[in-house]
Structure 1
Amino acid sequence: MPLLSWLADNADERPDAIRVDDRAVSWVELRRLAAAVADELRGVDRVAVEATSTLETVVGVVGALTAGAAVVPVPPDAGPMERDHVLRDSGATALLVPAGAAGTAEGAGRAVVPVDLARRSDTVHPEPDPARTALILYTSGTTGAPKGAVISRRAVAACLDGLADAWAWTPDDLLVHGLPLFHVHGLVLGVLGPLRLGSRLHHVGRPRPQRYAAAAGSMYFGVPTVWSRIAADPDAARALRPARLLVSGSAALPAAVFADLAALTGHRVVERYGMTETLITVSARADGPRRPGTVGLPLPGVRTRLVDEHGATLPADGAAMGELQVAGPTLFDGYLDRPDADAASRTPDGWFRTGDVATIDPDGWHRIVGRATTDLIKSGGYRIGAGEVEDALLAHPAVREAAVVGVPHPDLGQQVTAYVVGDGVEGPELVDFVARHLSAHKRPREVRLVDALPRNALGKVQKNRLLAE
């Protein structure tokens, strides 16, 4: 079956199948626009795409996939050094840009190919082998330049089919989101999902609460920052009541936001878990319970396990915290030209080391504690999950945002330290508040009040920046 099977076979000419901001195209029109791009990319193995939140990006990505090329999304906010690294490291020989920008685009020795929405083609391109690379997505670790994660067409298809099963995702759905189009969440799930599974798509541009409210979708995707802003706008939140499913990902959804959305929208949000290297591997289901702070069950074909620091398997008892390891059909093929990184990311028996700490309940439900490097705090002989302390802080009515890290300490090993954005509250009050809600050893030893937390494009708090300070 073709990767974008719904788009490949559809004869529907209704004009609103795919809408990005205020421009829309039908399935047939999108296929013809993409075929025109594919005609220009014959023989190209890897193509970079200026991944703005525009219809041109959708057409360019679909055109490149139609041609059998590997797509290398370039974040629009990438600085000169990052942009140059992605273009050079990926080996992309062409760069897709909107037609109006083609005259000024810098291809750094690559062919600059305009995505012209006035050009259409009826060429039928053969479906590439499922083992071919679909995407090379650059992901940053704690050190060094970003690495290119090589993701096959087969892995993308397995991920989307698994989500169709978990979320009852069908052609009857209208998916609404405003996520960036250079990450797994916005691009793979948010664009390729509809083109494989048949739902219409409305990308609202900037993900403002009023735009989500006005879109009248059946499924909504958002990151916790988006959902927090919607929960703070009761009228916008109530407008989502007719929807079928609200989905949150890319970071942990605070329990307070989960509860506020449930009260305002009538929906308990579906949370799911994945990484660039694994795509989505674990999710709550549309036909099952949703538990705040948990990310559900493995998708079809996916296996998970917990191990301790010595590699020994830990029990799924809901208490044991260990590194989550994953195996299954959604995994990437490896890091581009980085055999050292590949070897470090895999166990001898073939499992991927996520670097995330989790617990697994006896019934298989997963709870992500956080990154092993920043979210598992070893203090005074105790293992403390930063997320649990953050949830306790966020339960205080004066706290708007919270991030907890382990700061080196000569006696404790690590000291539980909280960075808090709040209104009219002092550190000692918050320390006492947490101590009343959790075990005393989990309370922050220090609370630092800040104006804002550093976040990336998907709203994830950048804890390494907090630790660097």
Structure 2
Amino acid sequence: MLLASLNPASDDIADAVRIDGTVLSRSDLVGAATAAAERVAGAGRVAVLATPSAATVLAVAGCLIAGVPFVPVPADVGATERRHIVGDSGAQAWLGEVPEEAEGLPHIPVRLHARSWHRYAEPPSEATALIMYTSGTTGAPKGVVMSRAAIAADIDALAEAWQWTPSDTLVHGLPLYHVHGLVLGLLGSLRIGNRFVHTGRPKPELYAQAGGSLYFGVPTVWSRIAGDGDAARALASARLLVSGSAPLPVPVFDRLAELTGHAPVERYGSTETLITISTLADGERRPGWVGLPLRGIETRLVDEQGGLVPHDAESIGALQVRGPTMFDGYLNRPDATADALDSDGWYRTGDVAVIDADGMHRIVGRESVDLIKSGGYRIGAGEIETALLGHPGVVEAAVVGLPDDDLGQRIVAFVVGDAEPQALTDYVAQQLSVHKRPREVRLVESLPRNAMGKVLKKELMQWH
């Protein structure tokens, strides 16, 4: 079953879930989630306002018990986007909490103290578990249809890669409407049976107090922890620190390793594929590299003509992946599905990468904004960003290619820090090939980022 740890025969745990001041035992979780399942059983699809709360945990678990697909809706989403998600998904009701603007849907509350011990048959593995909407960087958000089988396959592969067991206590403070916080953090814990602690917000002091063995964070979180020596040293007793959703800067990787004694585990994936590549708990953790394909996952790099790119750690190609964790398509968007998935099941990630002879992967960035074609060279923005972050006068850096009549694209770096622009250009030229140096360095107060810490490069490219 997908939620293996919610089998009533499982051993009870007094603090299976801790979130928003509420502690749920395993039997509390099973009883209250099953009560929620009874309230939605037979529905076609429901929306869940994904706040970090016990109501959200029980709503999600209840839907999975009842076999009702759910749509996680960000609590802080704008009115237009919320209206699109609710309307496009065909959700019939809100389960759990409800926003001020309910978009005309009825509200089914979740009762924390309700209990039911009704037994539901396990839905078919190919049945839809959830529909998660993408961030909408290329138009209105698209609904990604994810099956129960894909989620189970991904969690099981990660459990193998990370040696993740029921004896772990998993801690994070990430949103419950993305793959990282919801699928890996919450559903992973419900499948594997480990204790789950949500800190509300991913603050260094809250991570330090949580007493976990396994921690999830995005690079922004790890950067703040690396900057708080006491908080970082408090994580020394943990087993694994996992970073994802955006590239982890090498200086942050190195500082975490120094303060905690743990080289972070990095991994790669997307809403459409879940996690497909990761460094291993007992394997090499190389700064700037995201590791090896998980069990059952195939990867390949292709050039602009569709030919295979060699695995020589240098040649850049478009990354494609396939395996049992793939999505079933975009809801109501057969055109977009056909653009993303070929007839052989390869998903076009939109990312560019390099692979070395041992199969280790390094993500260069998005093909649309991180692959810079300048003066006849194909240059990865990430490599330049890593070099810039090695300079003591740089706090944050983002590199893009802007149109140039002579070069095709010129390399432009946006930097938060106090270094002199010319000094940074010279510094990169000393660290990398001279053609990779920024032709322009712009000092800025901050970089635009989304909720998961990813730099919004398309927005940067509009800055003048």
Give the TM-score category using the shorter length: over 0.9
Aligned equivalent of 1:315, options 310, 319, 339: 310
CA distance in 2, matches of 1:111, 1:282: 40
CA distance in 2, matches of 1:72, 1:193: 18
Give the match for residue 33 of structure 1: 32
Q: How does 1:120-269 map to 2 (within 5 A)?
A: 120-269=115-264
Q: Deviations over 1:8-50 (max 9, x none)?
A: 2454444211111321101111011111111110211211100
CA distance in 2, matches of 1:425, 1:318: 31
Please tell me the residue identity of whatever aligns with 2:451.
A
- 1:321 offset after TM fit, Å? 0.5
CA distance in 2, matches of 1:29, 1:443: 58
Give the match for residue 430 of structure 2: 436
TM-score by length of 1: 0.97
Give the match for residue 462 of structure 1: 456
Please tell me the residue identity of whatever aligns with 1:53.
P
Aligned equivalent of 1:450, options 439, 444, 448: 444
Give the match for residue 426 of structure 1: 420
User: Residue 136 of structure 1 aligns to a residue in which SS?
Assistant: strand
Give the match for residue 4 of structure 1: 3
Q: 1:10 to 1:254 in 2, by over 3 A?
A: farther
CA distance in 2, matches of 1:115, 1:107: 16
Q: Is the 8 A contact 1:10 1:27 kept in 2?
A: no
1:332 aligned to 2:331?
no
- 1:124 offset after TM fit, Å? 1.3
37-46 vs 15-24, which deviates more?
A: 15-24
Please tell me the residue identity of whatever aligns with 2:434.
A
Divergent runs of 4+, >6 A: none
Give the match for residue 404 of structure 1: 399
- 1:86 offset after TM fit, Å? 0.2
- 1:127 offset after TM fit, Å? 1.0
- 1:224 offset after TM fit, Å? 0.2
Please tell me the residue identity of whatever aligns with 1:410.
D
Q: How does 1:240-389 map to 2 (within 5 A)?
A: 240-389=235-384
CA distance in 2, matches of 1:118, 1:194: 21
- 1:108 offset after TM fit, Å? 2.4
CA distance in 1, matches of 2:106, 2:122: 24
CA distance in 1, matches of 2:9, 2:170: 18
CA distance in 1, matches of 2:303, 2:259: 40
User: Residue 239 of structure 1 aligns to a residue in which SS?
Assistant: helix
Q: Deviations over 1:271-323 (max 9, x none)?
A: 00000000000001101110000111111110000001111111111111101
Give the match for residue 48 of structure 1: 47
- 1:466 offset after TM fit, Å? 0.5
Q: Is the 8 A contact 1:137 1:148 kept in 2?
A: yes
CA distance in 2, matches of 1:350, 1:55: 37
Q: Is the 8 A contact 1:133 1:153 kept in 2?
A: yes
Q: Is the 8 A contact 1:94 1:110 kept in 2?
A: yes
Give the match for residue 15 of structure 2: 16
74-83 vs 339-348, which deviates more?
A: 339-348
- 1:105 offset after TM fit, Å? 4.5
Q: Is the 8 A contact 1:250 1:458 kept in 2?
A: yes
Q: Is the 8 A contact 1:45 1:68 kept in 2?
A: no
Please tell me the residue identity of whatever aligns with 2:423.
E
CA distance in 2, matches of 1:310, 1:115: 53
Unaligned residue ranges in structure 2 (runs of 5+)? none
TM-score by length of 2: 0.98
Give the match for residue 56 of structure 2: 57
Please tell me the residue identity of whatever aligns with 1:127.
E
Q: Is the 8 A contact 1:149 1:332 kept in 2?
A: yes
User: Residue 359 of structure 2 aligns to a residue in which SS?
Assistant: coil
83-92 vs 36-45, which deviates more?
A: 36-45
CA distance in 2, matches of 1:464, 1:280: 24
Give the match for residue 72 of structure 1: 71
Query: What is the percent sequence identity of the aligned residues?
Result: 61
User: Residue 241 of structure 1 aligns to a residue in which SS?
Assistant: helix
- 1:118 offset after TM fit, Å? 2.4
Report the aligned-residue RMSD.
Answer: 1.1
Aligned pair count? 463
- 1:55 offset after TM fit, Å? 1.3
Q: Deviations over 1:234-275 (max 9, x none)?
A: 111011111110100000000000000010000010000000
Q: Deviations over 1:163-216 (max 9, x none)?
A: 000000001100011110000000000000011011111111111001111111
Please tell me the residue identity of whatever aligns with 1:447.
V
Please tell me the residue identity of whatever aligns with 1:82.
E
Q: Deviations over 1:97-141 (max 9, x none)?
A: 33xx5xx74432322111121222111111111111011011134
Please tell me the residue identity of whatever aligns with 2:14.
P
CA distance in 1, matches of 2:300, 2:138: 26
CA distance in 2, matches of 1:289, 1:310: 33
Q: Is the 8 A contact 1:21 1:202 kept in 2?
A: no
Q: Deviations over 1:358-399 (max 9, x none)?
A: 011110000000000000100000111100000011001121
Q: 1:459 to 1:10 in 2, by over 3 A?
A: farther
CA distance in 2, matches of 1:420, 1:347: 38
